[in-house]
Amino acid sequence: MKANEGRVVVVSNRLPVTVEHGPQRLHVEPSAGGLVTALRPLLDDSAGVWIGWVDSEPSPEIERVLEEYSARRNFTLKPIFLTPEEKSRFYCGFSNEVLWPLFHDLQSRCNFDPTYWDAHLAVNERFAEMAATEAQSGDLVWVHDYHLMSVAASLRRLEVNQRLSYFHHIPFPGPDIFEKLPWREEILTALLDFDVVGFQTVRDRRNFIACLRHFVKAAEIKTEEDHVIVDEPGRRTVVGAYPISIDFNEFARGASDEAVSMRAREITYDLNGCTMLLGVDRLDYTKGIPERLSAFRHFLETHSELHGKITLVQVVVPSREDIPKYVELKSEIQRMVSEINGQFGEPGWVPIHYIHRSLDRPELLAYYRAADVALVTPLKDGMNLVCKEYCAARVNNDGVLVLSEFAGAAFQLHSGALLVNPYHTRAVAEAIRRACDMPLAEKRKRMRRLRARVRSEDIFRWRDSFCSSAATGPLQIAKPPFEQRLPRRVSA
Ligand code: ADP
Ligand code: F6P
């Protein structure tokens, strides 16, 4: 990664690799999710350190496997191990039962257990201690995602004077939703301890600024060209929008590979020539999978002439399986798939093929190549990389993208995709019909537009634009401890 003259110290909840127990020995696999897909191509590009959690019991063997992995790269992986209680309260609890649902506008799913907040602070402190140990003068400390919003506050307490940057991968809610968070002032104030704070979209940046106006009255806010400057006595933070992306060329090259093309033909053949709709998601309630299945059911109910001619392939990668809402979601999806297949299936035709596992890159690309239509319909998403991957993989400039208007990616891809409200069952069913009927010339026109946008705004452009803000942004030095600054905050 390139940011400035120094190295980059990446701090994220998870390391980019997960250590798995093989039959003989431990081995590493890429971790699931958008953050890792996005940042991995940057890893090989320059020197640095990546600090993150390994979801395993600490052991010298794990440390050795990670050291071996690091030795083959420019980047050194530094594992953080959490106790079972820390995992439960910090990761499952505060991160994924408070911040995740609230920031995706699903406040009724939140569990505001106060012990989760204590764990959030304690674990952020541990990440900060490791970052303080690793960061050298001139390094950029680059913290990622909602789990670690309080890391800069801890680093300031530890008197770390490097530039501190933060990128927020998920949506940031407006004040009417954010105000439910019992620790709202603390989180906003902690974010202002970073020199640079980046969001996925202008909408998220606007929401963050609106929350500051409500809950941090001492903040002075000025808009300058494409970013916002937030001043408080003794400190300044630059706030910007930087839409994350993928390594377009890597996906396009991979998709053109002969073995991938052959596998794509095999998939098409196995579906007996049916038009193929594809969903690819982490198994998460924000991805709108039950809502998508309802829309497909409605489509089948209203288009009996297409029975036997259209198939939905839904691929999900298991995620956050220790959290009850995710366990419930898994059962709900399985139930809906079997109901729909039971109601409409016929000998020789299965309406929905459900794949519940992680696919390796060539297999994933083959599915993208084979799919006539991608259904990317999250209820809310910071960005969503699946839709960008689908476009990059459509090397023949065809295929139709049906995209939720609530995905961050809709800001960039609205002119080529068919935008839908994922809650509107009939509208999604109608978009499926429109995608199936679309003339080839229109498909090509739209897909060329989509691919041009993803190609030009790729992950390297994201890194360069974020890092140039980070390299030139203000450098806040040795701020007073958080507790001393609290009385200046005024609640709305
Ligand atoms: P999130 O960050 O919420 O996980 P994104 O859409 O941004 O959502 O990123 C998801 C990433 O996970 C993408 O890179 C996608 O290719 C990958 N992915 C999702 N499902 C699977 C699967 N079943 N097998 C392999 N990769 C998957
Ligand atoms: O972007 C959302 C995010 O939390 C990322 O940090 C991560 O890539 C992905 O979802 C997977 O989540 P988890 O690390 O909880 O499995």
Measured from the CA of 383, which atom of ligand 1 is nearest? Answer: 7
Query: Can you give the pLDDT of all 492 residues of the chain as single tens digits?
Result: 655 567 899 999 999 999 988 877 888 888 989 999 999 888 777 789 999 999 999 999 999 999 999 988 889 999 999 999 999 999 999 999 999 999 999 999 999 999 999 999 999 999 999 999 999 988 999 999 999 999 999 999 999 988 899 999 999 999 999 999 999 999 999 999 999 999 999 999 999 999 999 999 999 999 988 899 999 887 899 999 999 999 999 999 999 999 999 999 999 999 999 999 999 999 999 999 999 999 999 999 999 999 999 999 999 999 999 999 999 999 999 999 999 999 999 999 999 999 999 999 999 999 999 999 999 999 999 999 999 999 999 999 999 999 999 999 999 999 999 999 999 999 999 999 999 999 999 999 999 999 999 999 999 999 999 988 887 766 665 454 444 444 333 332
Measured from the CA of 36, which atom of ligand 2 is nearest? Answer: 8
Q: What is the pLDDT of residue 490?
A: 32
**Could you tell me the pTM of the whole model?**
0.94
Q: Which residue has the CA at smallest separation from atom 11 of ligand 2?
A: 33
Q: What is the pLDDT of residue 5?
A: 64
Helix or strand run (H / E) with residue 264: helix 258-270
Instruction: Let me know if 381 is a catalytic residue.
Output: yes
417, two tokens: 């995709």
Q: What is the pLDDT of residue 41?
A: 85
- Pocket lining for ligand 1, CB < 6 angstroms: 32-34, 37, 280-282, 315-317, 358-359, 364, 383-386, 389
Bridge partners, residue 402, by sequence: 375, 418
54 three-state secondary structure? coil
Q: What is the pLDDT of residue 4?
A: 55
Nearest to 133 by CA among 184, 80, 95, 93: 80
Q: Could you give the CA distance from residue 131 to residue 62 in angstroms, rounded to a whole number?
A: 20
Q: Could you give the CA distance from residue 171 to residue 205 in angstroms, rounded to a whole number?
A: 9
Query: Cα of 475 to ligand 2 centre, how many Å?
Result: 29
Measured from the CA of 33, which atom of ligand 1 is nearest? Answer: 4
Q: What is the pLDDT of residue 380?
A: 98
**CA atoms within 13 Å, Cβ hemisphere of 5:** 4
Q: Residues 51, 130: contact at Cβ < 8 Å?
A: yes
CA distances from 326 to 58, 110, 281, 319, 396 (A): 26, 13, 13, 8, 37
Ligand 1 pocket check: which of 37, 326, 357 to mutate, most ligand atoms within 8 Å of Cβ? 37
Q: Which residue has the CA at smallest separation from atom 15 of ligand 2?
A: 320
